[in-house]
Homo-oligomer: A and B are copies of this chain.
Amino acid sequence: MSLKLTILGCHSATPRINAHPTSQHLEINNSHFIIDCGEGTQRQMRKYKVGFSKINHIFISHLHGDHFFGLIGLISTFGILGREKDLHVYGPKGIKEVTVLQLKLSKSWTSYQLIFHELTSTESELIFEDDKVSVTTIPLTHRVYTNGFLFKEKPKPRGLNIDVVKTYKEIETCDYNNIKAGRDFTLSTGEVLPNSMLTSAPEKPKSYAYCSDTMYKPDIIPIIKNVDLLYHEATFLNDREDLCEKTKHSTAKQAGIIARDAEVGKLIVGHYSSRYPNIVDFKTEAEAVFPTVENAEAGKSFTV
């Protein structure tokens, strides 16, 4: 398993007893990320055993309360718990000002470095990269400036076919990195051993696209093409498509169309409006367009 997504909350608008606003924990290639942070996220993290100390990067899609009001509490709690490691926060311009103002008013400066990466671009851009993962924005269309996020594992080196390699005494361990990088090996006899014989293709890098909140926006399809896992908001069912235009949200059917046209591995729908009593209706509606759909539910995990 190199990708595990855990839903911490997936309902829209107001927190209710069993309806938590949006937040997700993503583990990808051994890195841990929090995506959005509605009120109560820190409590949900404790409930679903997300280790606070593993989180170094938090991504906020937009500054509506149901995606954001839990951030200041989480930042404060990290401080109270004695965190020392840097924390990086990515989100729309303004996120730094409002966070710093709250820390200032409470005279509760963090014990650790808090580093903001404020986003303003309306084009997709690379906002985080290390040797394991890259994170790219997915510009969305909502009532306020909003980005989704595309998380991609970095390509892994080819795997050594060790049984084959060992049959050639001339190949030394110091040659392994070159071979894993894709090079052929030339024996002293002049015989060339093709790389395809010495290595196997690595596991395909895993990818996850988070798209919330947004109206139906086919422009995002090239960015999220072929991801393994897509979370796409589905606030309404098709019966209230009229509300999508007004509120800049999507229906479950529209989420299904995006998943189908982007040829993703699996679609997760969430961000349900409270007007609908049964969340399975969202799955059913999307499945009429795209076969592999799951409901987001607090505490549910999806692995690739």
Contact = CB atoms under 8 A, between A and B. Distances in A.
Give chain A's interface residue range (CB within 8 Å of chain B): 35 or more
B101 A39 contact: no
Interface of A: 13-17, 39-40, 42-43, 46-47, 63-65, 68-70, 72-73, 76-77, 80-81, 92, 94-95, 97-98, 101-102, 105-108, 143-144
Contacts of A81: 14
Nearest to A40: B40
B143 A64 contact: no
A20 to B, nearest CB: 9
Given A15-B77, A65-B73, A69-B76, 8 more contacts: A14-B76, A39-B43, A40-B40, A65-B106, A65-B108, A95-B105, A98-B101, A98-B102
A71 B108 CA distance: 18
Nearest to A93: B105
Contacts of A101: 94, 97-98, 101
Contact of A106 (B77, B97, B144): B144
A138 B129 CA distance: 52
Contacts of A98: 98, 101-102, 105
20 contacts: A13-B77, A13-B80, A14-B81, A15-B42, A16-B46, A17-B46, A17-B47, A39-B43, A39-B70, A40-B40, A63-B106, A64-B106, A65-B73, A69-B73, A92-B105, A94-B101, A97-B101, A98-B101, A105-B144, A107-B144
Contacts of A47: 17
Contacts of A39: 39-40, 42-43, 70, 73
A64 B108 contact: yes
Contacts of A64: 106, 108
Nearest to A102: B98
A187 to B, nearest CB: 63
